Amino acid sequence: MNSAPSTPQLLISQHTVDQHSCVVCVEGELDLATAPRLKTALREMLRAGFGRIVVDLAEVTFMDSTSLGVLIGVNRSLKAGARLAIVCTNPNVLRIFEFSGLDGTLAIFPTFDQALAHVQGTADPAV
C-alpha cells in the first residue's frame, strides 16, 4: 500500500479589528511551498487599506527563510504611518528571527494584545 507524501497544512485567516487594523493568523508550517499564501494574504490586507497589521504566528510550528523574506518585504513596502507587528510564542520560530538578526528589525511580541497595541500606537513606550 503506497501512501502519498503528506503536504504540510497551512491555515491563514484574516480578521478586521477596526477600519485601519487587521490580524492575519497563521497556523502550520511556513516554508517555500506555503510562504506565497502568506504574501498574498498580507498584500490583500494592504490593498484593502489596512495600514496596521498584526501577523499572529503563535500557531506556526515551522518557518524558513522564504517566510522571513515575505515578512521583510511586506514591512519594507509599508507606507508612512503604517505598522506591522508579529506575535510569536514558539521558541523554535522565535530562534529563526534571532539567528537572522531580524528580531531587532521587525516588531515581535509575545502576546496578541502587545502586538495590537503597537500597531495602533497605544503601547506604553516604557514597557
For 42-76, what is each residue's pLDDT tens digit? 999 999 999 999 999 999 999 999 999 999 999 99
pTM: 0.89
87 three-class SS: strand
CA distance 126 to 52: 21
Which CATH topology does 10-120 take? Answer: Transcription Regulator spoIIAA (3.30.750)
Q: Report which DSSP code applies to 103.
A: G
pLDDT tens digits for 17-48?
999 999 999 999 999 999 999 999 999 999 99
Q: State the first-to-last Cα distance of the chain, in angstroms, to the nearest integer.
A: 57
Cβ atoms of 64 and 31 closer than 8 Å: yes
57 three-class SS: strand
Sequence ranges of the domains in the chain: 10-120
